């Protein structure tokens, strides 16, 4: 189930790392936050755990099965006039994403994330990743 009751939408994000890079996806021009980059994920449905929501979203949007691991961080942010609570989880996924809703996917070094146009909440996660040197600093 969702964590503590909140009047704000619970949104999930996957931090999928490979060879020191993380996966980011680009929103289409017709979506909210058009052409912004984000960590893949989406909204939790009523009665759905955050982990289940994230696994479902990865399959629906990227045809990418994954194992949802620990929570990396929670960010509360205002997006398009609406406040959201973003829960970023470490996810282990095999294979490559197949775009179903996004227009592009990239594997990016954490230090390079600041060069991308990202949503406010995703930018906070990107900053935390860059500050740590990624998920598993050397």
CB atoms within 10 A of CB 93: 20
**Over residues 49-63, mean pLDDT:** 96
End-to-end CA distance of the chain: 35
**Over residues 5-15, mean pLDDT:** 81
Count the alpha carbons within 13 Å of 65 in the hemisphere toward its beta carbon: 0
> Could you give the residue ranges of the DSSP H alpha helices within 1-138?
50-62, 120-132
For tokens 């990865």, the residue is 58
How confident is residue 79, by pLDDT bands cut at 50, 70 and 90?
low
- Under DSSP, the state recorded for 115 is G
3-state secondary structure at position 63: coil
**Over residues 90-104, mean pLDDT:** 93
The answer to whether the pTM exceeds 0.75 is: yes
The confidence score (pLDDT) of residue 138 equals 38
Q: Tokens standing for 89?
A: 């989880």
Q: Domain 10-129 belongs to what topology?
A: Nucleoside Triphosphate Pyrophosphohydrolase (3.90.79)
Distances, alpha carbon 124 to alpha carbons 38, 95, 108, 120, 137, in Å = 11, 27, 16, 7, 18
């Amino acid at each position: 189930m969702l964590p503590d009751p909140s009047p704000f939408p619970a949104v999930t994000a996957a931090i999928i790392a490979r060879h020191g890079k993380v996966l980011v996806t680009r929103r289409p021009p017709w979506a909210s936050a058009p052409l912004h980059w984000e960590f893949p994920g989406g909204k939790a449905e009523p009665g759905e755990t955050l982990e289940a929501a994230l696994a479902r979203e990865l399959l629906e949007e990227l045809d990418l099965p994954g194992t949802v691991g620990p929570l990396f961080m929670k960010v509360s942010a205002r997006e398009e006039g609406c406040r959201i609570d973003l829960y970023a989880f470490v996810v282990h996924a095999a294979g490559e994403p197949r775009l179903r809703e996004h227009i592009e996917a990239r594997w990016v070094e954490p230090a390079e994330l600041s060069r991308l146009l990202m949503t406010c909440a995703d930018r906070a996660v990107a900053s935390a990743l860059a500050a740590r040197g990624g998920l598993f600093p050397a």
